[in-house]
Amino acid sequence: MEQTHKQEFFSAKNIAKIAILSAIAYVLYLFVKFPLPFIFPAFLDIQFSDLPSLIGGFAMGPWAGCLIVIVKCLLKMPFSTTACVGEIADIIMGIAFVLPASILYKKAKSKKSAFIGVIIGAVCCVVASIVANWLLLIPFYAKMFGWEAILGMVSSLYANVTQATFYTYYILLAVIPFNILRCSIVVAFTFLLYKRVSPILHR
């Protein structure tokens, strides 16, 4: 039974669907993004690349959704400006978002379970973003650019920020609200689009 399930998952049809969704996610990851510089630091971009992953996770299961996240980021790594650290963080946050949401939806395919799933996924993503910034991204950027450059990039928003208070300002005023907003936008588009593309993905 398990062998049959694996064969179905890695069928040519499923691989083609995952490839198409990964390609769409990659294009969104590279090109469809924008900052909100009057609210958040300018280097934070609102982007929608988790949308195909979430749709794929709902349509084909949790592993498909996670695979789309990973493939999207792997495709971006050759063009990374962060020595792939940013892409690794995006894999962590993307999986934290997609995996719980698609697991819950797989167990009970209803609007209610989908809604609960994306809320839990969004919460997991926000927690993952805090951990990724605290332990991975900020230490990397501090080592790469120096604290003076980092403080300079956020000083227009947080006038009193210092190296000692940076984590408090940045995590509470940028990372958490930014990722709540980003996840909310992706969730809204997922509910708007899923029923329209679901028949195509289930053919």
- DSSP one-letter string for 117-131: HHHHHHHHHHHHHHH
Q: Which residues pair with 46 in a beta bridge?
A: 34
Residues shown for the chain: 203
Confidence class of residue 198 from pLDDT cuts 50, 70 and 90? confident
- What's the mean per-residue pLDDT of the chain? 93
pLDDT(7) > 60 = no
The residue among 124, 128, 153, 132 whose CA lies nearest residue 35 is: 153
The pTM assigned to this predicted structure is 0.92
Which whole number is the average pLDDT over 72-95? 95
Q: What share of the chain is helix, strand, coil (3-state, %, to 5)?
A: 80, 5, 20
Average pLDDT over residues 69-98: 96
Q: Which residue has the higher pLDDT, 6 or 94?
A: 94
Q: At a CB cut-off of 8 Å and minimum separation 6, what does 25 contact? A: 49, 50, 51, 52, 53, 68, 69, 71, 72
pLDDT of 6 above 70? no
The C-alpha atoms of residue 69 and residue 107 are separated, in whole angstroms, by: 21
Residue spans of the domains in the chain: they are 2-33+44-201
**What's the mean pLDDT in 166-189?**
97
| Integer Cα distance of 56 and 61 in angstroms | 7
Which residue, 192, 181, 174, 178, is CA-closest to 54? 192
Q: Which CATH number fits domain 2-33+44-201: 3.40.50.720, 3.60.20.30, 1.10.1760.20, 1.10.10.10?
A: 1.10.1760.20
